Amino acid sequence: MADSFDLRCPVVTPMNEDGSVDLDGLETLVDYLVSSGIDGLVPCGTTGEFSALTDEERRAVVETTVDAAAERVPVMAGVGGTAVGEVRRHVSEAEAVGADSVLVVPPYFGGQSSADGNEAFFRAVLDDSPLPAYLYNIPQTVGQELQVDAVAELADHDSVVGIKDSGGDLTYFGDLLRRTPDDFEVHQGWDAAYLPSLAMGADGGINALSHVCPDAFHEVAEAVAGGDLERARRHQRETIDPVFEFCRDHGFAPSVKAALAHRDLVDSGTVRPPLDSLRGEAFDELVTVLD
């Protein structure tokens, strides 16, 4: 078990009420996240609504995050896409604007690929990559699980340094830990599994709710590192889990943005279609959960 754990935030993309990207709001949000003790920032991931952004917006979001972070914490840019050439272009642009690493999801259209097919995709994307890369398993949005066999083979690739697993399956997570080298970073992205994953040997988490309750994540990590599992369970169950349950039911980007707007950390809870902004009874319920 690690003496300390890495907590990174998959940053939402703040938007104005008309749906345009709010880069000034993003700068303010980055300052807040860094001041709250976040160890790294991940723009243009799932919670960042990367699939609803244009290429120009994606580059601007990553560049703004890098500039606002000002080398205080590393930036891992989401570069998800379905075509090898498209993803390679996003990797190059992330490197050009100063990102420290990239997060690469399997292709999310075309059906279930074999382990060999997914491995071939990642190798084609990441051969000669200018930046270190993290794989990203999120079957509920991609439509397929990134097979452990493929991850185990890719763990020896010169550019691949770790994985974010948002599948929520602890057996799968344990297989990742068992079948990859000790220096291969395994991060938990399913917030409800944060505590058990740290106890299993995770390197840390990349967690959307670190926007909302960063102190609870720090408390869990500190308690696990110190062997105080009762304290860790208390913070997981009483703070992280209720918010996670709400977000799971209502969507992470809409819920997190609504929470940030409620706390005046962004100007608007607006999301882009096909997501729907939180309002009415759902918003009232979120406020109750937060309070």
Print pLDDT tens along the chain (291 aa): 555 799 999 999 999 999 999 999 999 999 999 999 999 999 999 999 999 999 999 999 999 999 999 999 999 999 999 999 999 999 999 999 999 999 999 998 877 788 999 999 999 999 999 999 999 999 999 999 999 999 999 999 999 999 999 999 999 999 999 999 999 999 999 999 999 999 999 999 999 999 999 999 999 999 999 999 999 999 999 999 999 999 999 999 999 999 999 999 999 999 999 999 999 999 999 999 998
Instruction: Tell me the C-alpha distance between 122 and 34, whole Å.
Output: 31
Q: Which of 32, 108, 134, 164 is catalytic?
A: 164
At 284 the pLDDT is: 95
Q: Is 70 left (phi over 0), alpha (psi -120 to 50) or beta?
A: left
- Rounded to a whole number of angstroms, the CA Rg of the chain reads 18
Q: Which residues are annotated as a binding site for pyruvate?
A: 47, 206
Q: First CA to last CA across the chain, in angstroms?
A: 33
At 291 the pLDDT is: 83
Q: Which residues are annotated as a binding site?
A: 47, 206
Count CA atoms closer than 13 A to 130's CA, side-chain side.
15
CB-CB contact of 78 with 45 (8 Å): yes
Give the SS3 label for residue 120.
helix
Output the CA torsion 39→148→126→26 (10° steps): -30
Q: What residue type is 136 in one-letter code?
A: Y
Instruction: Tell me the C-alpha distance between 2 and 221, whole Å.
Output: 10
At 3 the pLDDT is: 58
Helix/strand/coil percent split, the chain, to 5: 50, 10, 40
Could you confirm whether 136 is annotated as catalytic?
A: yes
Question: Residue 41: beta bridge partners?
Answer: 9, 75
Domains of the chain with CATH codes: 6-226 (3.20.20.70)
Q: What residue type is 149 in one-letter code?
A: D
Could you confirm whether 164 is annotated as catalytic?
A: yes
pTM: predicted TM-score of the whole model, two decimal places: 0.96
At 190 the pLDDT is: 98
Q: Which of 134, 136, 194, 257 is catalytic?
A: 136
Instruction: Tell me the C-alpha distance between 127 and 125, whole Å.
Output: 6
